[in-house]
Chain A
Amino acid sequence: MMNIRAGFAVGTAKGISKVLRLLGRGATTLPGRIALKIYPQILSLLSKDQKIIVLTGTNGKTTTTHMAAGILKSLGFTVITNVSGANLATGIATTMIEGIRIRTRAEKAGKKTVYVIEADEAAFSKVNGQLQPQVCVVTNLFRDQLDRYGELVHTQAFIAKGLDAVTARILLDADDSLVAALERGREDRVVFFGMDEGSMTRNTVTNPLKSGLSETTSDASYCSFCQTKYEYRARSFGHLGAFYCPGCGYSRKEPDFLVSYSTQTAAGSLSESSDDLGPADVGFPVTLAYSGESVTIALPIPGLHNFYNTAAAVAACVALGEKCGEPGLSFANCAKAIEFVQPAFGRMEKIPIGAKSLCLLLVKNPVGLERALSFVSQASDAGGMYLLLNSNDADGKDVSWIWDVDFESRSYPEKVFVSGERYGDMYLRLAYAGIDKDRMHALPMTGCQDLLDEALAKCEDGKCLYILPNYTAMLALREILVRRYHLKDFWK
């Protein structure tokens, strides 16, 4: 039973969200903010006896959340999930409040409801205990905007705190030494997902690198437990790979959920000069394996990092099925269902514009930008690249991380456009990476719309303009796209 104060909180929040919608503004955090003020325990109340998956990690959580929600929807569940990165306590509370209506309607229709909640790493430590999910997923730990989040070991500690507040099954990325280290002391609850060693792009067997297995920048070169330098049998990207510590023996465990693909097939479809394989095409065949069973699927969203997201999303749904006794959530069902998932807001979203298209790739931190550049440099349909760099609070004030990204070892579309409040910083980064100034056109944020028009005009028919904005730049761009190119608003 809801007490009076809680009822008031929910009622007020619902009212506000209705008003905001009528005003045509996306109500993604304000209703929750007010409800939490009136009744701080609102999340415990609304999550009681519900089926819940909570996902956290620095990269890929929006995509993984979106994929898991997609799987569950196509298997007949009603899904309540937070949209467009509203992943702090306020956004999660808003989602839960708006979920009441959805849940009631689902119950009437005889459908089961699942909550798939994305939580920011710091928010995770606070809200996870209240939500009491059956399944938690930690995607990965890459350095993020350091002025906002601090160091990676602190992020890791936040996540540990959140995990210890619940009895949920824990899904961890086996290939990320920082994430996998969270298994210690929680062994009986942990299930690993990861990539097959032979499929990792930089392995000693099918794709040895001349320069060995080293990376330009790694976020975790040294052992979490004894501080000896890790060695790798194979690497996929960043610090992800089949690591082992020669000092204390800590090493990557064989994943329970394994994703693999043929590097031969991938190499055939990609440029030969690239060290950084990773299918850039939708529908690339990958194989998922779990508990002796294996299913080959067409990858719904391209990019090597999405191999991990795919494995994590399938694993999350299967784990939920096992925990809650839902036979419909079998491994085969979940794996097959992922083929129908479309990209999430700003994540590899391809939008047709006349005879051309544009593709948005949100880039918030070094590994995100690194993945996006790798993707664009391999895309056969690239008709231009447009980078936008802002430095508002939500982006992080410090843009120096663009210098940590390896721009040098890739080739880009002939035309490169640059905007955002820090367009000068990005322009200089590109110039120093060897892109001739005659190939670049850079304008301040006030000119970002003109530059978009120009970039699209210069993009050949049948080709795609790849746009790489950071967070607030993407929001601004999205508004322009809605206004000028009549795109659907993201909160609808």
Chain B
Amino acid sequence: MQEKIRLCHLYPDLLNLYGDRGNILALVRRASLRGIDFEVEAVSLGEHFDPDRYDMFFLGGGQDAEQNILRNDFVSVKGDKIKEAVAKNKVFLCICGGYQMMGHYYEEHDGHRIECLGAINIWTVGKKSRFIGDTVYSCGLFPDSTTLYGFENHSGRTYLGEGVKPLAKVLTGAGNNGEDGMEGAVFKNVYCTYSHGSFLPKNPEMTDYLIKTALEVQKGGPFQLSPLTTEVEDFARNALPTCKKP
């Protein structure tokens, strides 16, 4: 029987910055190349939301003005259903603004606090200076490759509370807050990062890990993905200015 994964792309018309849709292209590509049917559905502002339909959820980043438009819908209208999906171990990938909105609050640099969903125990404090640049992380999620590559562009400093683990250790770049040397967050199957755009395309191990996890949750047991080359991804990673040449 053909495997099938259905992904819910939340607010794609509002959270569409910094190439975050590249992550979905990566999931579609590496699932399809293995013969796994991968379906993407968009659910936006004011639209009907049935989380049980989906194995995965994607939340990208947007401009401040646009994040303000959707915040109420996200927190007050869809919020409980999202928390329920988190509790059911559904796979989430949340990038930058999406990462921040999953936490308790975002405090602006003037001290004004914007309440967020609070689905995971993290919070963010905005600063005027931005962290911009290529990043390299060391990640302990998978056995083979432990290096992840990204690009960060954020002014928020995110802090993790109890029960939430960082996604990776920072080798190059600022990470969550530029203080503790950690990047991203993991809570149940919610994976968060500040790495934009080409995060999954440049990190096929992460892409595969998310696909595998989604199928395991769906089946309620272990699942082995068929092997798949990372040739084009390796070429791109080797070309990065941050890549250590052998």
- Using CB atoms and an 8 Å cutoff, list the residues of chain A in contact with chain B: 143, 146-147, 151-153, 216-218, 221-222, 227, 229, 397-404, 408, 421-425, 427-429, 431-432, 437, 442, 444
B153 touches A437 (CB 8 A): no
B233 within 8 Å of A by Cβ? yes
Q: Which residue of B lies closest to A400 (CB)?
A: B197
* Cross-chain contact B18 with A401 (CB below 8 angstroms): yes
Choose among A218, A401, A408, A424 the residue that contacts B236 (Cβ–Cβ < 8 A): A424
CB distance from B67 to the nearest CB of A (A): 10
- B236 and A427 form a contact (CB under 8 A): yes
A433 smallest CB distance to B (angstroms): 8
- Give 8 nearest A-B pairs by CB, closest first: A424-B239, A400-B197, A403-B19, A403-B22, A428-B236, A400-B19, A424-B236, A431-B232
| Cα–Cα distance between A229 and B47 once the two chains are bound (Å) | 12
By a CB distance below 8 angstroms, the chain A residues around B235 are 424, 427-428, 437, 442
Chain B residue at minimal CB-CB distance from A444: B239
Chain B interface (Cβ < 8 Å from any Cβ of A): 13-14, 16-22, 25-26, 29, 44-45, 63-66, 69, 130, 132-133, 151, 153, 196-198, 201-202, 231-233, 235-241
Query: Would you call B231 and A151 a contact (CB within 8 A)?
Result: no
* Further 13 A-B residue pairs, CB within 8 A, beyond A403-B201, A428-B201: A218-B13, A229-B13, A398-B151, A400-B18, A400-B151, A400-B196, A401-B19, A403-B197, A403-B198, A424-B235, A427-B239, A429-B198, A437-B231
Complex contact B65–A397 (CB within 8 A): no
Determine the distance from Cα of A143 to Cα of B20 in the docked complex, in whole angstroms: 15
Are B69 and A227 within 8 A (Cβ)? yes
A227-B69, A397-B132 given; A217·B236 CB < 8 A: no
Q: In the complex, are the beta carbons of B130 and A400 less than 8 A apart?
A: no
**Neighbouring A residues of B65 by C-beta, 8 Å:** 151-153
Closest to B196 in A: A400
Closest Cβ of chain B to A227, distance in Å, is 5
Contact B241 A421, beta carbon cutoff 8 Å: yes
Contacts of B198 in A (CB 8 A): 400, 403, 425, 428-429
Q: Is the CB of A221 within 8 A of B13?
A: yes
Q: Are A222 and B26 in contact (CB under 8 A)?
A: no
A209 to B17, CA, bound (A): 25
| CB–CB A401/B197 < 8 A | yes
The distance from the CB of A89 to the nearest CB of chain B, in whole angstroms, is 24
Pick from A403, A425, A427: contact of B25, CB under 8 Å: A403
Q: How far is the CA of A287 from the CA of B128 in the complex (A)?
A: 49
Contact of A398 among B18, B25, B44, B231 (CB under 8 A): B18
Question: Given that A428-B198, A428-B233 are known contacts, is A146 also in contact with B153, CB under 8 Å in the complex?
Answer: yes
Cα A186 to Cα B193 with chains together (Å)? 44
9 residue pairs A–B, Cβ–Cβ below 8 Å: A151-B65, A400-B22, A400-B153, A400-B197, A403-B19, A424-B236, A425-B240, A428-B235, A431-B236
Which residues of chain A are near B233, meaning CB under 8 Å?
Answer: 428
How far, in whole Å, are A170 and B231 apart by their CA atoms in the complex? 53
Which partner residue on chain A sits nearest B197 by CB separation? A400
Complex Cα–Cα for A146 and B197 (A) = 13
In the complex, residue of chain B having the shortest beta-carbon distance to the beta carbon of A223: B69
What is the CA–CA distance of A432 and B233 in the complex, to the nearest angstrom? 9
Given A217-B16, A421-B241, A428-B236; A404-B66 close (CB under 8 Å): no
Alpha-carbon gap, A29 to B83, bound state (A): 55
* Set B21, B29, B237, B240: member contacting A403, Cβ < 8 A: B21
Q: Pick the contact of B202 from A216, A227, A428 — CB < 8 Å?
A: A428
Residue from the list A151, A398, A437 in contact with B196, Cβ < 8 A: A398
Q: In the bound complex, how far is the Cα of B235 from the Cα of A421, in angstroms? A: 14
Residues of A near B196 (CB, < 8 A) are 398, 400
A397 with B29: in contact, given A146-B18, A424-B235, A428-B198 (CB under 8 Å)? no
Query: Within the complex, what minimum Cβ distance (angstroms) separates B204 from chain A?
Result: 10
- Across the interface, name the chain A residue whose C-beta is closest to B21: A403
| Residues of B contacting A427 in the complex (Cβ-Cβ under 8 angstroms) | 232, 235-236, 239
| Minimum distance in angstroms from A445 CB to a CB of chain B | 11
Query: Knowing A403-B19, A403-B197, A403-B198 touch, does A147 contact B236 (C-beta < 8 A)?
Result: no
Task: Among A221, A227, A408, A424, point to the contact of B240 (Cβ < 8 A).
Answer: A424
Q: For residue A400, which residues in chain B have a CB less than 8 angstroms away from its CB?
A: 18-20, 22, 151, 153, 196-198
- Given contacts A218-B13, A403-B198, whether A432 and B18 have CB atoms under 8 Å apart is no
Per the bound structure, the CA–CA distance linking A408 and B65 in Å amounts to 29
Q: In the assembled complex, how far is the CB of residue A400 from the closest CB belonging to chain B, in whole angstroms?
A: 3
Give Cα distance in the complex from A437 to B133, angstroms.
28
Q: Contacts A397-B132, A432-B25 given: A222-B236 contact, CB under 8 Å?
A: no
A402 touching B19, Cβ below 8 Å = yes
Residues of A within 8 A of B202 (CB): 428
Write the nearest CB–CB distance from B47 to chain A, whole angstroms: 10
Least distance between B137 CB and chain A CB atoms (Å): 16
CB A349 to nearest CB in B, in angstroms, measures 28
Among B130, B201, B231, contact of A432 (Cβ-Cβ < 8 Å): B201
Interchain nearest-CB distance for B245 vs A (Å): 12
Per the bound structure, the CA–CA distance linking A428 and B203 in Å amounts to 11
Residues of B within 8 A of A444 (CB): 239
B18 touches A153 (CB 8 A): no
- Docked Cα-Cα span, A50 to B196, in Å, equals 47
